[in-house]
Chains A and B, each alone.
Chain A
């Protein structure tokens, strides 16, 4: 069983602030790293799929980086908006299954 850790567990920011979260995973047997956004009463929605060391992905105000050698990924949100409020999950694909972290709960205060 692989241990995927996310920090912080929860975060409250003011609208317009930029923020970032961390996902740590074992670097051995790594195949891919996924980020998902999970809004209340909805299903988790994929943000990024990253496979290569040094990968950088961007979607609007949200971006992510990947370091497979040291086993971490950062998710950045620039200029947070209330609609960004959600739980952000990362999942590491290893040994042919996904191992999820417990998520970072983000609340953006208007």
Chain B
């Protein structure tokens, strides 16, 4: 049973560039959430996708966008990269029906460095 997989593992980009991160959820999960963890901080919620639509959004600018595909996999896109976007980006999948009592299943993350 495959868990949550993320790609790539590491990425180095230049300020102003655009980046796409990818996530495949755990088998059987239909909801994908993205989190940003900056150095010394806890994971911060970016947004959540369910049924190919953004359902919830955290306090992130419109430069952060996403997509969910019919197979429940998801992409996170960040435009006009800033140095402050350097962070570990975590994808988590879950069952939508168990939002309150179903744990999040995380991938290993993508480490993004913006220079």
Which residues of chain A have a CB within 8 Å of any CB of chain B?
1, 4, 6, 31-32, 34, 36, 41-46, 49, 51, 89, 91, 93, 96-103
Question: How many contacts between A and B, using CB within 8 angstroms?
Answer: 58
Within 8 A of A (CB), among B11-44: 33, 35, 40-44
Q: Classify the secondary structure of B's interface with A.
A: loop
Which residues of chain B have a CB within 8 Å of any CB of chain A?
3-4, 33, 35, 40-45, 48, 55-56, 58-59, 90, 99-109
Q: Are A1 and B108 in contact (CB under 8 A)?
A: no
Q: Are B109 and A43 in contact (CB under 8 A)?
A: yes
Given contact pairs A89-B43, A102-B41, A103-B42, a sample of 13 additional A-B residue pairs in the complex whose CB atoms are under 8 Å apart: A34-B103, A36-B104, A42-B108, A43-B109, A51-B100, A89-B42, A93-B99, A93-B100, A96-B99, A97-B45, A97-B58, A98-B45, A101-B42
